């Protein structure tokens, strides 16, 4: 588990294809590795990667086909900058929100503009994730815990202060940049809980609809 508070920026140093998936070497820059062991997790642009080898300057990690399908990791080339966060400990300050490192899908930057000393971004999420994104709720973008300022369908806006721009990869974002999105974990569990006993039914029959909510007393209009 992670908090979405970025500890350092690193970069991809090597990309090795392996029978349909990848092995990546990440140089960690200012991220200390003295307390990292083989098998530990490091969030890399929001993707929870397992350390399989330590190099002294960074780590190697395997990236499965499933991860390549749902994240931007397949686009990474040597020199690509990434946000890094080590897994939280019982002593970690939970300054962001609970982040699993399990990316839900790829979003895209639609627009960027200045607002006083901040920068504002408008992003588009995959349609299937729109229901989990709420005004003033939390969302993880490339591993960064952020607050949603506005929602319009599958698009949402973020207000980014100078410190976040300086300490993450967001200063390099422009229209068309693709990013990893992880929605609020609690929203996903709430959806599942609302299904009740229907959660055990095949997925094609277990979606939450207006009719479902009305029959279970959630819609009294």
Query: How far is 5 from 55, CA to CA, in rounded Å?
Result: 24
Q: Is residue 202 part of a domain?
A: yes
Cα separation of 185 and 177, whole Å? 24
Give the domain-ending residue among 86, 118, 142: 86
pLDDT score at 203: 67
Q: Is 29 inside a domain boundary?
A: yes
Tell me: do 120 and 160 sit in the same domain: yes
Both 59 and 109 in one domain: the answer is no
In a domain, 95, yes or no: no
* Continuous H helices in the chain: 65-70, 162-167, 185-194, 210-215
Residues 113 and 146 occupy one common structural domain: yes
Return the pLDDT at 20. Answer: 87
Question: What is the C-alpha to C-alpha distance for residues 169 and 181, in angstroms, rounded to an integer?
Answer: 14
We report the CATH number of the domain holding residue 19 as: 2.40.30.20
DSSP 99: B
Tens-of-pLDDT digits for all 221 residues of the chain? 999 999 999 999 999 998 889 999 999 999 999 999 999 999 999 999 999 999 989 999 999 999 999 999 999 999 999 999 999 888 788 888 889 999 999 999 999 999 999 999 999 999 999 999 999 999 999 999 999 999 999 999 999 999 999 999 999 999 999 999 999 988 888 888 888 888 888 866 545 555 655 655 555 55
Q: By residue range, what is the domain housing residue 218? A: 186-221
Contacts 24+ apart (CB under 8 A), 190-193: 191/131, 191/132
- Confirm whether 67 is domain-assigned: yes
User: pTM value?
Assistant: 0.87
**Are residues 206 and 155 part of one domain?**
no
Distance, in Å, from the CA atom of 153 to the CA atom of 20, rounded to the nearest integer, reads 35
93 assigned to some structural domain? no
The answer as to whether 196 is a domain residue is yes
Angle at alpha carbon of residue 103, lines to 194 and 55, rounded to 5°: 145
Residues 171 and 196 in one domain: no
The total number of structural domains that make up the chain? 3
| 197 shares a domain with 177 | no
Residue 204's pLDDT is: 60
Cα–Cα dist 198/205, whole Å? 8
Same-domain check for residues 42 and 109: no
Separation between Cα atoms, residue 14 and residue 32, nearest integer Å: 20
The 3-state DSSP class for residue 9 equals: strand
Q: Is residue 60 part of a domain?
A: yes
In a domain, 100, yes or no: no
Q: What's the DSSP call for residue 216?
A: T
Q: How far apart are CA 174 and CA 172, in angstroms?
A: 7
User: Is there a single domain that holds both residue 15 and residue 80?
Assistant: yes
């Amino acid at each position: 588990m992670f908090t979405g508070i970025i500890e350092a920026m690193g970069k991809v140093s090597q990309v090795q294809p392996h029978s349909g998936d990848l092995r990546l070497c990440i140089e960690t820059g200012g991220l200390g590795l003295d307390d990292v062991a083989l098998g530990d997790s490091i969030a890399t642009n929001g993707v929870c990667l397992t350390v399989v080898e330590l190099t002294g300057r960074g780590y190697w990690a395997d990236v499965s086909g499933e991860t390549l399908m749902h994240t931007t990791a397949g686009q990474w080339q040597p020199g690509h900058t990434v946000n890094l966060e080590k897994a939280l400990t019982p002593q970690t300050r939970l300054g962001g929100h609970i982040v699993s490192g399990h990316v839900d899908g790829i979003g895209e930057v639609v627009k960027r503009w200045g607002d006083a000393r901040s920068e504002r971004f408008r992003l588009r999420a995959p349609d299937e994730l729109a229901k989990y994104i709420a005004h003033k709720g939390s969302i993880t973008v490339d591993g960064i815990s952020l607050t949603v300022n506005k929602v319009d369908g599958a698009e949402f806006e973020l207000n980014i202060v100078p410190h976040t721009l300086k300490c993450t990869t967001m200063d390099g974002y422009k229209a068309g940049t693709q990013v990893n999105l992880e929605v609020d974990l609690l929203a996903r569990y709430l959806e599942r809980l609302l299904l009740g006993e229907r959660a055990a039914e095949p997925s094609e029959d277990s979606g939450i609809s207006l009719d479902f909510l009305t029959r279970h007393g959630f819609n009294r209009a």
